[in-house]
Amino acid sequence: MTLAAVTMLPRDPSVGNSDAAQDLYGIGVRVGFYLQALGMILYNYSIKEDYGKGLKIASGSITLSLLASWYVFAAQGLFSPSEAIMVLLIVMSLSLPAKVTLLNPRNVVGETIGLITLVLVELGTCAALLWTFARLIHTLPRLQTPNIIFFFAPVSITGWFQYVALVVCTVDALFSLPYVYKVARVIEISWRLYRENHAEISKEDGEKIHEEKYRQIAERIDWENHRKGIAILRWLAWILVIIAVETTIYWNQLSPLNDFQSPGQLIPLVAGIVIFIDSVFEAGPNILAHVEEQFRKIPDRWALVRAGFDQTFQWLRLRIYGSVREWVKKQRIFTQRRTEEVAEGLQV
């Protein structure tokens, strides 16, 4: 059966695991995670120096609980390979924006537990991805799913994609080790600064110590030079994860439940709504001011564009006019010479 034919089959509620459809990728879970991730992205546009405070422990605890449930389902073989990969993508949709909050060293102090949860989620996700593509895609039951996922097109989990994904996940796990080491050093600095905050020192000395520790944290993370690239990456990753999750649900004829009486769906949904609304109030004025400034610059930019077009047109006109004049001049000289040659021939 072709992939196109599979996607046209009618939905069957018995496809996949019903418990996973409610607690792991139900509509409340997915929308809640998407909104939390969007809120964390928007917090980065806040003008406050301590934006993102408390987000690491909030997102880390929710993603860690979902990841723990994933391991229980995987160990007992309760869901299909496509469901396993999809749940990991949902976890990554929130863990990636949470890591970006480390760009602001001022929200790291006092966030020791939150940083530890980020490390645990990072290690747990890498291990889960490696376990999935190395073994689980062959041992987990299909549960009537065609095992298709999104890779810019519907592709089968088995076959060539398994080896590509395994290589990518292995490289990602290797690159995660330096990240974990950096966060461990940041935890050490954050903890020392937290203890010094409770020590009996003058306000002036405390501010000097804080600035020095903030500088050390920024040096440990070493992401400042990649701020623009990270800004693009977090939006791109958020969009691609949503596309991958939703298309995987559709192509595998899964039927996620929308029982909002279940705490497993209601908790992440409410958390997502609250974080998103708060991020809008925090970053909204700055975003609107930036957009307004860009609109005010449109006439000036349009004037520059018009000036550029005018200069280009003048240059082309002069080049064309000069070329035509040169061609006419050459033709005139050629005609004159031919006339003289003909006249000389007639005289002879």
Query: How high is the pLDDT of residue 63?
Result: 85
Query: How high is the pLDDT of residue 154?
Result: 86
- 258 compared with 203, residue with greater pLDDT: 258
Q: Cβ distance 252 to 16 under 8 Å?
A: yes
For residues 111 and 186, give the distance between their C-alpha atoms in angstroms, rounded to a whole number. 10
For residues 91 and 73, give the distance between their C-alpha atoms in angstroms, rounded to a whole number. 15
Sequence-ordered alpha helix ranges (H) in the chain: 3-7, 18-23, 27-43, 55-76, 81-100, 112-131, 137-139, 160-197, 203-221, 227-251, 263-296, 298-347
Query: How high is the pLDDT of residue 131?
Result: 92
Average confidence (pLDDT) over 102-114? 71
The residue written with tokens 């994904």 in the block is 165
Query: How high is the pLDDT of residue 78?
Result: 84
**What is the average pLDDT score of the chain?**
76
- 91 compared with 332, residue with greater pLDDT: 91
For residues 81 and 79, give the distance between their C-alpha atoms in angstroms, rounded to a whole number. 7
Is the pLDDT confidence value at 348 over 60? Answer: no
Query: How high is the pLDDT of residue 8?
Result: 39
Is the pLDDT confidence value at 208 over 90? Answer: no
Q: Which structure tokens are listed for 186?
A: 């940041």
For residues 205 and 242, give the distance between their C-alpha atoms in angstroms, rounded to a whole number. 47
Query: How high is the pLDDT of residue 127?
Result: 92
Query: How high is the pLDDT of residue 1?
Result: 40
Is the pLDDT confidence value at 130 over 80? Answer: yes
Average confidence (pLDDT) over 102-131? 81
Query: How high is the pLDDT of residue 194?
Result: 64
- 212 compared with 329, residue with greater pLDDT: 329
- 55 compared with 208, residue with greater pLDDT: 55
Average confidence (pLDDT) over 43-71? 77
Query: How high is the pLDDT of residue 317?
Result: 67
Q: In which band, very low, low, confident or very high, does the pLDDT at 18 lie, cut at 50, 70 and 90?
A: confident
- 199 compared with 219, residue with greater pLDDT: 219
Q: What is the pLDDT of residues 285-325, one digit of tens each?
A: 777 776 666 666 666 666 666 666 667 766 676 677 667 67
Q: Cβ distance 67 to 124 under 8 Å?
A: yes
Is the pLDDT confidence value at 10 over 60? Answer: no
Question: pTM for this structure?
Answer: 0.71
Is the pLDDT confidence value at 136 over 70? Answer: yes
For residues 147 and 157, give the distance between their C-alpha atoms in angstroms, rounded to a whole number. 6
Is the pLDDT confidence value at 71 over 90? Answer: yes
**Which among 163, 154, 172, 40 is positioned nearest to 94, based on CA atoms?**
40
Q: Cβ distance 31 to 63 under 8 Å?
A: no
Q: What is the pLDDT of residues 77-86, one digit of tens each?
A: 888 888 889 8
Q: What is the pLDDT of residues 137-157, one digit of tens each?
A: 888 888 888 888 888 888 888
Q: Cβ distance 114 to 107 under 8 Å?
A: no
241 forms beta bridges with none
**Which among 30, 4, 254, 15 is positioned nearest to 153, based on CA atoms?**
4
